[in-house]
Amino acid sequence: MEEYKVYTYTIINVPTNEFKDKAPYLMAIVTNKKGSKFMTRIEGYDEGDKIKIGDKVKYKEKDSLGNIICKL
Amino acid sequence: MRSVSVIGIGETEMGSFPERSLRDMVKEAGNKSIEDSNIEREKIQAIYVGNFNSSYLCGQSHMGPLVSEELNLGNVPTLRTENACASGSLALRQAFISVASGVYDYVLVGGLEKMNHRSTEEVTSALASASDSINEFGIGATFPSLFAMIANRYMYEYKATREMLAAVAVQNHENGFKNPHAQLKKKITIEKVINGFPVAHPFTIYDCSLVTDGAAFLVIGASDLLNKKEKERAVEIIGSGHAGDTLRLASRKDITKFPATIKAAEEAYKMAGIKAKDINFAEVHDCFTMTQIINTEDLGFFEKGDGGPAVLEGKTALDGKIPINPSGGLKSKGHPIGATGLSQVYEAVLQLRGKADDRQVKQADIGLTHNLGGTASTCLVNIFRRLK
């Protein structure tokens, strides 16, 4: 499974209506092997988990809109 | 190009007014601006009105005719502008071009938003629709989260501290405390900001601008048509700039600065024939604490990386080297999306007229307003000076 590097991130506590049930959740801009960036949601985050710029995350799946979803 | 001046200003108090109608806010702010201009309303030839999302939040589109009807302006042509949080400034930009080019002599410019009658989640969704609907909004991003990602990267690259961000909120609340139109007239401390309710790490509720109902209106006119009395109160738009960027944040090479601001400022400074150091005070788009620091660097007031320390050192305070957001900004005065850019102009005109009371800046010859749309995907910059 492809790995990506965290370029920046945030943990969302106040979500939109559509993501109400997921909060708090982790989102990031990550870099792929070729160096291009994209935005992703990273699943498997529990409140209090430490995350920092430069961490590696893994490909999990594509959502119904075609976005890449990652996991810790 | 003809010289264009702001000749009348009017705004409502900013706040949470779920019982106030759009029409009620238009009536108050619109009529105040026309009365302030001292011109007969028959002279107004067109209306440009900025509104972000009343289509969704209030079920009301087609804002131009609503404004015209409420202010008894008859059959004048109207136009609504929408570029997210920059919608109001965009209306001014288009109106400015129409007068500068000679198409119209007098134009009414308005902006408004009504949000507090909806739930926090609904407002968050309405705002998030200004980001990419698939890869940002569609994956769970909110506006606080997009700017929080910018903040985490900025803090990593430039060693900015949490205290620097918090100090922006503290300073803007100090100023807003002195503004009778401000939504949150309350002083806060750095500790209170840092320990506030978490919204999107590192931001707490105190790093975020407010959800605001309000309206702001201006009357602009060709400077050479003004009589002596009108000229005394007129404020000339000596520079105007407008630039854009990608809709998606991740598409940009560097997210710690906003090229839309840099380009819009360049255009405005060039038109005005001045440099950043000539600006006496500025109203900048502090949608989040981090944003204000980046803005003051992009506008050329500070070197890259120096914007944070400058706040802690008091350089951007009311009595500092370059007072930023004397009105209290989006943070304390409020952020009535479609009205925000015009409320910034309202403050700039008050300051330049020397009528800002307790929050009057000492040196007020040249002022600047800076308004962002989305994740700095749109930027408008205006520079003002008392008409000579």
Confidence of residue B113 (pLDDT cuts 50, 70, 90): very high
Q: How does strand B4-11 pair with strand B235-244?
A: antiparallel
Task: Quote the pLDDT of residue B58.
Answer: 97
How many of the other CB atoms lie within 10 Å of CB of B2? 13
Average pLDDT rounded to a whole number, residues A25-43: 97
| Contact residues for B233 (Cβ-Cβ < 8 A; gap 6+) | B7, B353
pLDDT in tens, B171-213: 999 999 999 999 999 999 999 999 999 999 999 999 999 999 9
Q: Is residue B260's pLDDT more than 90?
A: yes
CB pairs A-B closer than 8 Å: 97
Q: How far is residue B205's CA from residue B353's CA, in Å, rounded to a whole number?
A: 34
pLDDT in tens, B276-328: 999 999 999 999 999 999 999 999 999 999 999 999 999 999 999 999 999 99
Rounded to a whole number of angstroms, the distance from the CA of B128 to the nearest CA of chain A is 8
Q: Measured in whole angstroms, how far is the alpha carbon of residue B347 from the centre of its chain? A: 10
pLDDT in tens, B59-92: 999 999 999 999 999 999 999 999 999 999 999 9
Contact B39, B221 (CB under 8 A): yes
* Amino acid at the residue B267: E
The per-residue DSSP string of A3-71 comes to: EEEEEEEEEESS--GGGGGG-SEEEEEEE-TTS-EEEEEEES--TT----TT-EEEEEEE-TTS-EEEE
Smallest CA-to-CA distance from B283 within B236, B237, B235, B343 is with: B343
3-state helix, strand, coil in chain B (%, to 5): 45, 20, 40
B156 touches chain A (CB under 8 A): yes
How high is the mean pLDDT of chain B?
97
ipTM: 0.98
Record: contact B142-A41, CB cut-off 8 A: no
pLDDT in tens, B335-365: 999 999 999 999 999 999 999 999 999 999 9
Contact B63, B125 (CB under 8 A): no
Closest Cβ–Cβ partner in A17, A53, A65 for B152: A53
Residue of A nearest to B197 (CA): A13
How many of the other CB atoms lie within 10 Å of CB of B355? 11
Record: contact A13-B197, CB cut-off 8 A: yes
Task: Quote the pLDDT of residue B259.
Answer: 98
B137 touches chain A (CB under 8 A): yes
| Residues of B taking part in catalysis | 85, 335
B254 touches chain A (CB under 8 A): no
Residues 44-63 of A with CB under 8 A from B: 53, 63
Strands (E), B4-85: 4-11, 46-50, 78-81
| Residue B217 burial class via C-beta count within 10 angstroms: exposed 0-12, middle 13-18, buried 19 and up | buried
Rounded to a whole number of angstroms, the distance from the CA of A61 to the nearest CA of chain B is 13
Task: Quote the pLDDT of residue B223.
Answer: 97
Contact B49, B107 (CB under 8 A): no
Q: How far is residue A44's CA from residue B312's CA, in Å, rounded to a whole number?
A: 38
- Tell me the chain B residues in contact with residue A47 when contact means C-beta distances shorter than 8 Å: none
| Contact residues for B37 (Cβ-Cβ < 8 A; gap 6+) | B7, B8, B219, B221, B230
The per-residue DSSP string of B284-317 comes to: ---SBHHHHHHHHHHTTSS-TT-HHHHHHTTTTS
Q: How far is residue B230's CA from residue A18's CA, in Å, rounded to a whole number?
A: 52
Identify whether A24 is preceded by a cis peptide bond (ω within 30 of 0): yes
Q: How far is residue B290's CA from residue B268's CA, in Å, rounded to a whole number?
A: 23
B340: its two tokens: 């925000």
- The residue behind tokens 């990608």 is B246
* Amino acid at the residue B306: D
Task: Quote the pLDDT of residue B263.
Answer: 98
Task: Quote the pLDDT of residue A17.
Answer: 86
Mutate to test the interface with A, among B124, B133, B211, B290 (most CBs of A within 10 A): B124
Mutate to test the interface with A, among B137, B152, B207 (most CBs of A within 10 A): B152
